Structure 1
Amino acid sequence: MDDIINQLIKDNINIYEFLQVDPSSITNDIKKSYYKLSLKYHPDKKTGSIEQFNLLRTSYEILSNEEYKRKYDDLIKIKLQNQTNFNNLSETTRKFQTDILNQNKKKRSSPQNLELLREDGLNKRRKLEKSKNEKQTLSIYDLSVDFIIFFENKKQYLVKLKVKIKPKVEIDHIIITEIMSIFGEIKQVRFDSKDDDDRYEYFIIEFKNKSSMDSALNYDYSSGKKWDGTNVRKLASLLRRCNIVSSSTSYTNNSFVNSVLENYVKSVSDKISTK
């Protein structure tokens, strides 16, 4: 959840404005606004949007949780403070540049200073040409193994959960998180588009590790005994099956950069294996 909060701050998304509530709003007001906007953004509605609906769910989850809400508020304060510091720095820099320009104008009126500037320019040019002549071209394969950077893969453990739709029973990502956390720690849950069968809905679940994902995949969902004694026992009986989506690897959040790095790492690995 910390990663999601940081991303919201980075993208300048104000979840208070999106949820149409004030920072001082109580939990009931936040919940009312959430359900009202759910009717607007639900993917099954004409005005619906899967992106907006997922953002709405995430915003509600943050503001309805005291710990998440505190972290979000703290990050907003830090960002505002950083922006203020940046503006002050920009103003100080502008004044400094103005002072330097004024001093240079005065110096330009002196023939002696002009001669010194020419001499200084020639010296810098000689040093630059000398450094270019001395520069040697090295490839990655000329470096020792100690200097080769190996990237740590970020694995995603994703499953798709099938859930029976029951009239007057609303299942959202918060409830699914509570139910499926019995298998292990979850990074995030998002609603997936429905198939042709209107009897079921689907959720994409990202677990933090492979063992948790395997536990969820190997469980027989015809039995809800695993949730006996919990407050989600009845809701867990609506689960039908869990299938793997992917167990992918990535280096960054940019697919183009990932492809470049993938080719680079492969070429380095092939080169090392042939030595």
Structure 2
Amino acid sequence: MKFNKLAGLGIASVVLFSSVGSVIANSEVAEASFIFRRNRTTKVATKANAILASGNFVKQEKATNGRARIVSINGKRYLEFDRTFRSGEGPDVKIILHRNSNIPLNIKEGNYITLAPIKSFRGAQRYAIPENVNLADYKSVGIWCEEFNATFGYAPLQSTIATANSIKPIASGNFVKQEKATSGKATIVNINGKNYLEFDRAFSSGEGPDVKIILHRNSNIPLNIKEGNYITLAPIKSFKGAQRYAIPENVNLADYKSVGIWCEEFNATFGYASLQNV
């Protein structure tokens, strides 16, 4: 008799938690869920998620309200608007991240990046943030009409978790010229256990074909480099501005003392940055 009761209870539990699992799987935002039954609260386990920054929308050209937040879900970052979000409508409206806390009515190229066309002028929505975007460079979210270069509204962002990304600088150095004028700063950082090479927004280099980002064993990289003294990280993404490159886990950073901008086609180092531990 007792066995039958226990068996019945076990089946009921399986049905209950299977139902809860379906609800969570279909939820748009993976946040901690709770089951309320007979005044008891059971927390359902979720993967490591975090709110990185948030802010309230204010009007610029058109009435805009609601709340924006940047979240990390399973290691990927998203911009989310809550269900109270509202904005005036218009043509060719984009979602942007801007370098300033207060976005002017008319914005200038180089001060922002476009995430995507707006999905809706009302309600909750989510936009993926590319992995190579350094969120430290951007201080606000904007609703921007590209056709008329008009900011409808924006939300200044405040960090909600000071150590959300656990960013630890490892080494850095300033670029110098070798073959072509090269300037700006390179930094190797560790973010949540992974190493990246970052260039700041002041980075600039002369252009050329088949240009690669390399790590070199010497502090000063010669004009022409020899095989075995360097590794290639990736083709260059841009000859100007902030950018990020993943460093493979099997790379021993202690073996490399500089970062180079190298044209493989002509074996010519455009510029390099000697790295110093920080």
Highest Rg: 1 or 2? 1
Flag the structure with higher helix content: 1
TM-score by length of 2: 0.22
Flag the structure with higher strand content: 2
